[in-house]
Amino acid sequence: MCGIVGYVGQRPAVDVLVRGLRRLEYRGYDSAGVAYFRGAAIEIQKSEGKLENVETLLSKLPAISDARCGIGHTRWATHGKPTTQNAHPHRTGHVVLVHNGIIENYQEIKQDLVKRGHRPVSETDSELFGFLVLEKMDAGRSLAVAVSESFREVTGACSVVVMSEKEPGTVIGVRNGSPLVAAVDPKGGVILASDAQPLLEYTRDVVFLEHGDMVVGDSRGIRFLSLQTGEPIQRATSTLDWSPAALDKQGYDHYMLKEIHEQPAAMVDTLNGLLDRASAESFPLAGQPAVELLKNAKRITIVACGTAWHASLMGKYWLEKWGQIPVSVELASEYRYRDPVVDAGTLVIGVSQSGETADTLAVIQELRKKGIPTLAVTNTRGSTLSREAQATVFTNAGPEIGVAATKTFSVQMLTLLCFAAFLGKQRGKTAEMDQIFAQLIRIPHLLGDYLDEKGTLRKAVRETARKLLLLKGFFFIGRGYCFPLALEAALKLKEIAYVHAEGYAAGELKHGPIAMIDQDIAVIVLAPNDAWREKTFSNLEEVKARGAQVLGVGNPSDESLQRVSHFWIPLPETGLHESLLPFVVTPVIQLLSYEIAVLKGTDIDKPRNLAKSVTVE
């Protein structure tokens, strides 16, 4: 979830860059840097850690306020540790760049570059792109041509902003997947960024680049070119009508929608807090109070309510698969009034966004008194749960205002996944866990692109919501990892749209609920490409045969699923391990409830009868 800013114009460039990066901090990052022209030479200041470190470096330099052109970056490490060396901007000869996204064929590119005598100094995929541009410029190409030709050699969704000492005062940006927004500075100049926030300080008229667009900013102003042909293209300006109140919501109509979109950043921040990102080890859980408790546990009981209970159910799948530990997941309101068999070998984990949910809290308080090991997973520092449990692991989703839990669901799942992977490594599954880790840290990038406001997901969901709106009931079905998601989907829909919805393990339908299926019922089939897909597909045919209106949610290349479904929402083509697919199915189910609620005109952020924090039993 890197952040990018680029500027050329009349203002002090470094100031514009740093202010812009501040506005992108919400995306989550672990290093930062800026590069700017001083005369015809480019200087770079970068550091691991927070933006303040870069500001400290800058404060010691003379006359940087003269700089009028530069680029800046906040990096969240995917390829290589979060060190100063790996921080952006990267210099390759006279070429300096920042990059957001992933170059998938970086290993092949690196091998070729090394064969041609180049010596990358960082561990990043990003730096390699600079070598490609450098070679082409040294062969006589302009910066713009060199950048577009270099893109023909890379695969993967990414955006870059590039400068060269051979063309002082020019900033070139490309969107080839990851979002990029451009605007004309009314004071004279051009500003680019990975989202609109840094631009809003200067103008509300912005251009959202399309995939395959190149933008050139220089003393002549702004130009858009096709990456493919190099020909000039026209791009319409959007005027962002953001009131001060909406700015709180960052332009989204509701907090819920904003929070759905914040999931990639919430995941980044949670991973930053949970793992030692500088460690070469995957899932080290460095310094986490959970470590000893997890290591000593013979079995785990998770207690939670509502959405947190669904995240915990998902956690059970991972903990059992990788951690090879028996797990039971309990509704706190039921568990507290039972006579459960629990001993000191059982680790009891309370999962709660607010950390104040009365039932969850009561279980933890009671069991701790009895000497049972207790661990809290919560998003709220200082919460009662975090004080009552023996140890606490915090999720870092930031404040969640919408009553419907969205981003906290994702980070609760993520945290339990990290526990499971940590235990997996303890039990010798190192290679498998390393592989999962390498994929996991790509998810925020993938999700960011999938959720991109101008992308196809939102449109597809909105259109489908319109068609399903008048049906009398909704069944979400799934197997394996998609069973907890089906439960969560139904809860979301009931909660904010006030319509009847059920979540079922798809194999359970024929044990009763299938009697309800007719042409007035929507069945939403969650069937990504995983081990359960074939079985779920058969269940789809059963409900279709009984007249249900079927919405398929599956892999984009799953033609048979698409063919038999009346409505279809494709997941992104990610190549992710099946156990990580819940993170990409989640936004679909959240957005579907959201769009249905919008059409119904309910009070989405404050649904009737509900409170964000349920402090009574």
Interface residues with ligand M6R (CB under 6 A) are 305-308, 352-354, 357, 360, 403-405, 491, 495, 613-614
Q: Which CB sits closer to ligand M6R, 127 or 356?
A: 356
Report the alpha-carbon distance of residue 173 to residue 150 in Å, rounded: 13
By three-state DSSP, how is residue 331 classified?
strand
Q: Could you tell me the smallest distance in angstroms from the CB atom of residue 415 to ligand M6R?
A: 12
Q: Could you tell me the smallest distance in angstroms from the CB atom of residue 336 to ligand M6R?
A: 14
Q: In what order do the strands lie in the sheet with 567-570?
A: 501-505, 473-478, 521-527, 549-554, 567-570
Helix (H) or strand (E) holding 419: helix 407-426
Report the alpha-carbon distance of residue 400 to residue 352 in Å, rounded: 12
Bridge-partner residues for 76, per DSSP?
Answer: none
Contact 542, 510 (CB under 8 A): yes
DSSP letter at 427? T
Q: Which CB sits closer to ligand M6R, 456 or 615?
A: 615
Q: Which CB sits closer to ligand M6R, 306 or 478?
A: 306
Report the alpha-carbon distance of residue 37 to residue 474 in Å, rounded: 58
Omega cis (within 30) before 326 = no
Q: Which CB sits closer to ligand M6R, 354 or 410?
A: 354
Q: Could you tell me the smallest distance in angstroms from the CB atom of residue 495 to ligand M6R?
A: 5
Q: Which CB sits closer to ligand M6R, 573 or 617?
A: 617
Q: Which CB sits closer to ligand M6R, 403 or 589?
A: 403
Q: Which of 366, 406, 371 is nearest to 385 (CA)?
A: 366
Q: Which CB sits closer to ligand M6R, 358 or 469?
A: 358
Active site residues: 2, 612
Report the alpha-carbon distance of residue 192 to residue 556 in Å, rounded: 32
Q: Could you tell me the smallest distance in angstroms from the CB atom of residue 105 to ligand M6R?
A: 40
> What would the two tokens of residue 252 be?
């989204």
Q: Which CB sits closer to ligand M6R, 144 or 491?
A: 491
Q: Which CB sits closer to ligand M6R, 216 or 404?
A: 404
Report the alpha-carbon distance of residue 469 to residue 471 in Å, rounded: 6
**Cα radius of gyration (the chain):** 25
Backbone angles phi, psi at 510, to 5 degrees: -75, 0
CA distances from 83 to 49, 86, 87, 278, 367 (A): 8, 5, 6, 7, 42
CA distances from 471 to 74, 474, 497, 518, 585 (A): 46, 8, 13, 10, 23
Per DSSP bridges, beta strands 473-478 and 501-505 are parallel
Q: Which CB sits closer to ligand M6R, 393 or 491?
A: 491
Q: Could you tell me the smallest distance in angstroms from the CB atom of residue 374 to ligand M6R?
A: 15
Q: Which of 359, 395, 362, 360 is nearest to 377 (CA)?
A: 395
Per DSSP bridges, beta strands 41-48 and 69-75 are unpaired
What string of DSSP letters covers 250-300? TT-SSHHHHHHHTHHHHHHHHHHHHS-TTSSSSS--TT-THHHHHHH-SEE
Q: Which of 439, 333, 444 is nearest to 396 (CA)?
A: 444
Q: Could you tell me the smallest distance in angstroms from the CB atom of residue 527 to ligand M6R?
A: 24
Backbone angles phi, psi at 538, to 5 degrees: -60, -40
Q: Which of 4, 616, 562, 590 is nearest to 254 (CA)?
A: 590
Bridge-partner residues for 475, per DSSP?
Answer: 502, 523
Report the alpha-carbon distance of residue 360 to residue 311 in Å, rounded: 14
Report the alpha-carbon distance of residue 147 to residue 132 in Å, rounded: 8
Position of minimal CB gap to ligand M6R: 306
